[in-house]
Structure 1
Amino acid sequence: MSFRVIFTGSLRDGFNRRRGIESLGKQFALDFDQIRYLLSGAHRMVKCVEDRRQAERIVKALWDGGWHTELHLDNRVVFRTNQAQKPSFQDPGPDLVGPSLVRMRGRDSPVSAVVPESWQPCTDLNPNAVLQAGDRNAHHYMIVLMQEREELPSGLALPDYSVAQLQQCLARLTSGRLLSGPEMVEHEVSPACTAEMSARLDTTAIQYLVAHFQCERYFHTLFLWCSQREFPRQKPLFQRMVTGFRTEPVVQAAREGTGCG
């Protein structure tokens, strides 16, 4: 006995195609080829599992992203989301389509970020980082820097701060180049903007996704990077990590962050 989650390609009311596609990339960490495969046919199988609760978690994750699905038991349809105004899911849990993420908190800082379960805390990526982690085997990394807004010109806007920080960082990198941005993006907690840049580390081409966040007292900068060859596949995961970035009320003084120190 096996349950199959079928992607119908139909959007829920209130979701447009662009928003639905963005959710597949950001929420489920699907790359371009995986998204194109799902959208290329009317009924594509997403997952085949033996446990119904596991299958329903995937159905719920796709529902939250704006997509209708079907749940099949062997060759029989047992559930269609487009036949219920608000489907009832058993034991809704984290989505199982993309990598499982866990929340990691900075030591003596108000920030936290979501990272893949395989990532471990690091201490040697940047001495100014308030949070740093990575997968050393895969060479995928993240650091978070923070800077008090009181130390900066009054009224400095987030886009201007982002441009200044990117220029400072690129000047310190070998063959540093801005590829896109910065551009404002939607974020649940604070104003944010993102950019992409590249550099070389010895003989390896590196590509970064950089996100800047404006909070009440601080600007925060999130750097995510891997080899340029792997970046297109890792970018959806990095975007999920940007979405999962959080800050809490500050009770201790922050350490300064200047970019790629």
Structure 2
Amino acid sequence: MSYGIVFTGEIRDSVERRYAIAALGREFGLGFSQIKGLLTGAKSQIKTTDDRREACQLMKKFWEAGWHTQLCLNDQPIHCTEKSSNYGDPPLPPALEFLENREGTISIGIPIGWREFDNLNREAVIQAGSAELSRYLIVLRQDRSQLPQGLSVDHFGKAQIQQCLARVENGALVSGPDPLISNIQNGHIYEMSADITKTPVRYLVTFFQCQHSFYSVFLWSSLESFEKSRSEFLHIFATFKVMSGTGGCDSTVVPM
């Protein structure tokens, strides 16, 4: 995965333009001609890195200097500080740490402060969440050798969603599948609702097709806090990774 930071040229609402321009020189060591080029050109990708933490730290530095930036994953936008601020969401991407399954074949990012669970789903290969925030994650694995040969991730996802809706109380499909196709990746995202112990909840679900397995990733929260959770959930989806040497996987790219 490759993360790119895009300088949008937009200044935060509460920051004076004079301060923000001066900060480009003071904090980033840019000269007059470099600053002029940055401000007069189109949106500029200023950094590319495989390290998500490094990308987020640079976004924070620009934020503190008074500027909006955008985070991209493999050239697909996944976070914009201006858009998040306008929606009342946290302006910066969530800080994540990574969990692996027991075999060390897959990993996924979870927000710092979440913890691992062992009682969300007995079939889960990864399960974590925050009881305080009522936000949870499970990752399920299905061996492809046990399924019809040639079954696509699209058909697998549709079948899994129908099974899930039948098993939960008041299950309903809200939206999906919403495919987003880029030159290297496929994504399929579903949104569904249900009641858990009489409490309305909302799920985001996506599926991954790997060489030997399908993986299903479920993220959910209470209906009341779901819209605040959505951006964070999409970031978590984008971190799903098959470890090197264990077979390729079509990762998801998620719209922000």
TM-score range relative to shorter protein: 0.5 to 0.7
- Counterpart CA distance in 2 for 1:86 and 1:158 is 32
Q: Which consecutive unaligned segments of at least 5 residues does structure 2 have?
A: 25-34, 61-91, 247-256
Would you say how many aligned residue pairs link Structure 1 and Structure 2?
190
How do residues 65-214 of structure 1 correspond to structure 2 at under 5 angstroms?
65=6, 67-69=8-10, 75-76=18-19, 77-78=21-22, 79=24, 80=35, 81-83=38-40, 87=46, 93-94=55-56, 95-96=59-60, 97-186=92-181, 191-214=186-209
Residue of structure 2 equivalent to 1:5:
none
**TM-score for the superposition, normalised by structure 2:** 0.65
Is 1:226–2:221 an aligned residue pair?
Answer: yes
Is the contact made by 1:146 and 1:220 (CA closer than 8 Å) also made in structure 2? yes
Q: Deviations over 1:48-75 (max 9, x none)?
A: xxxxxxxxxxxxx9x8246224597894
Secondary structure of the residue aligned to 1:225 is strand
Paired AA for residue 9 in structure 2: H
Quote the offset at 1:143 in angstroms: 0.4
Paired AA for residue 241 in structure 1: I
* Structure ranking higher in helix proportion: 2
Residue of structure 1 equivalent to 2:67:
none
Quote the offset at 1:191 in angstroms: 3.2
Distance 1:207 1:65, change over 3 A: farther
Paired AA for residue 101 in structure 1: L
Quote the offset at 1:197 in angstroms: 0.4
- Counterpart CA distance in 2 for 1:75 and 1:152 is 62
Quote the offset at 1:190 in angstroms: 5.1
- Counterpart CA distance in 1 for 2:237 and 2:102 is 19
- Counterpart CA distance in 2 for 1:195 and 1:74 is 41
Q: Deviations over 1:120-178 (max 9, x none)?
A: 11111111111110001111000000111111001111111111101111111011111
- Counterpart CA distance in 2 for 1:92 and 1:158 is 32
Paired AA for residue 8 in structure 2: W
- Counterpart CA distance in 2 for 1:115 and 1:226 is 14
Q: Which consecutive unaligned segments of at least 5 residues does structure 1 have?
A: 1-60, 252-261
Q: Deviations over 1:180-201 (max 9, x none)?
A: 1122234797533110100001
Aligned Cα root-mean-square deviation (Å): 3.1
Is the contact made by 1:190 and 1:215 (CA closer than 8 Å) also made in structure 2? no
- Counterpart CA distance in 1 for 2:221 and 2:46 is 39
**TM-score for the superposition, normalised by structure 1:** 0.64
Distance 1:66 1:148, change over 3 A: farther
